[in-house]
């Protein structure tokens, strides 16, 4: 079974229908373990119980960037190899990535309220995640602006790759911008070296969230394939009726 075998949507649907229940079960089990461990983790001596937000916040932030990476690989698949599933993968990933980014922003904001005394701070890291969120929304808008999926796929692929080149530049310039304006930053992201009692639940949660993404992504890809089938059936029916 190579990647090109999956170009057949029926084969892909068969494979995923077998894999998905196992993936969903593994995600649920790991999430339960991770949440239990996170609940049992000791309070931080400075931040108290609010440090537990980290176990949800950090995996979300990681996945927010990881999903753009997945979409970039899919965009290469669309433009270079013309793999038929690549644009399905890219389209299905965009709303999930936007959701992870949004959750990272919301959890970070809720964490920031007790810690920094404000919901929003024009901190470099927050700002670049916000820009990432805007770019996700722009990409989704691009997907929705075009009716023909394959035409939308190529436009979205170009934008995804340009975004992948631009995101490091934006990250770097926002860092530079912020350190210029507020040299003395009091923000502490839990310290650089995490204690083991925090690190292990965090890693479990990260793996659980990654599995959650894979599960949701495969399910969304199945939906997209089925949606396209319905669309072409409807078009066939409409053209037959008019003929």
Partner 1 sequence: MTALAALIRRDIRIALRVGGGALIGVLFFLTVVVLMPFAVGPDLALLTRLGPAILWLGALLASLLTLDRLFMADHEDGSLDLIVMSRTPLELTCAAKALAHWLAAGVPLILATPVLGLLLNLDATATAAVALTLLAGTPALTFTGMIGAALAVTLHRGGLLLAVLVLPLSIPVLIFGVAASQAAISGPLAFGTPFSILCALSLVSLVIGPFAAAASLRHGLD
* Shortest distance in whole angstroms from residue 35 CB to partner 1: 34
Nearer to partner 1, 125 or 154 (CB): 154
Q: Cβ contacts of residue 107 below 8 Å, gap of 6+?
A: 53, 56, 57, 60
Contact 174, 129 (CB under 8 A): no
In the complex, least distance from residue 67 CB atom to partner 1, rounded to whole angstroms? 17
By CB under 8 A, name the one of 158, 164, 194, 203 that touches partner 1.
Answer: 158
Q: Interface residues for partner 1 in 84-143 (CB under 8 A)? A: 131, 134-135, 137-138, 141-142
Binding mask 166-195 for partner 1 (x = CB under 8 A): x--xx-xxx-xx--x---------------
Burial of 13 (0-12, 13-18, 19+ CB in 10 A): middle
Q: What angle do CA 53, 190, 57 make, to 5 degrees?
A: 30
Nearest approach, Cβ of residue 182 and partner 1 (Å)? 14
Instruction: Answer for the pair 93, 217: CB distance below 8 angstroms, yes or no.
Output: yes
Q: How far is the CB of 128 from partner 1 (least distance, A)?
A: 9
Helices (H), the chain: 9-40, 54-76, 84-116, 124-145, 149-181, 196-242
Among residues 26, 31, 106, 161, which is the contact residue for partner 1, using CB under 8 A? Answer: 161
Q: How far apart are CA 140 and CA 19, in angstroms?
A: 27
As a whole number of angstroms, the distance between CA 8 and CA 129 comes to 36
Q: Which is nearer to partner 1, 106 or 158 (CB)?
A: 158
**Footprint on residues 137-156 left by partner 1 (CB under 8 A):** 137-138, 141-142, 145-146, 151-152, 154-155
Question: Binding residues for partner 1, per CB under 8 A?
Answer: 79, 131, 134-135, 137-138, 141-142, 145-146, 151-152, 154-155, 157-159, 161-163, 165-166, 169-170, 172-174, 176-177, 180
């Amino acid at each position: 079974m190579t990647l090109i075998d999956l170009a057949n949507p029926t084969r892909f649907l068969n494979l995923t229908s077998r894999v998905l229940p196992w993936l969903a079960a593994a995600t649920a089990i790991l999430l339960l373990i991770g949440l239990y461990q996170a609940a049992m983790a000791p309070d931080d001596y400075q931040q108290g119980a609010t440090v537990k937000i980290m176990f949800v916040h950090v995996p979300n932030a990681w996945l927010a960037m990881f999903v753009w990476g997945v979409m970039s690989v899919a965009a290469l698949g669309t433009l270079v190899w013309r793999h038929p599933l690549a644009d399905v993968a890219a389209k299905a990933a965009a709303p999930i990535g936007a959701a992870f980014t949004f959750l990272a922003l919301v959890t970070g904001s809720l964490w920031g309220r007790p810690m920094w005394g404000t919901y929003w701070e024009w901190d470099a890291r927050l700002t670049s995640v916000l820009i990432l969120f805007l770019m996700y929304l722009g990409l989704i808008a691009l997907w929705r602006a075009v009716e023909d999926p394959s035409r939308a796929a190529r436009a979205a692929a170009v934008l995804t790759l340009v975004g992948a080149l631009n995101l490091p530049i934006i990250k770097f310039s926002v860092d530079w911008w912020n350190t210029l304006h507020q040299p003395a930053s009091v923000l502490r992201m839990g310290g650089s070296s995490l204690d083991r009692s925090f690190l292990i639940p965090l890693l479990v949660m990260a793996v659980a969230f990654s599995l959650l993404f894979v599960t949701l992504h495969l399910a969304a890809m199945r939906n997209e394939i089925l949606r396209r089938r319905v669309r072409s059936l409807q078009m066939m029916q409409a053209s037959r009726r008019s003929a």
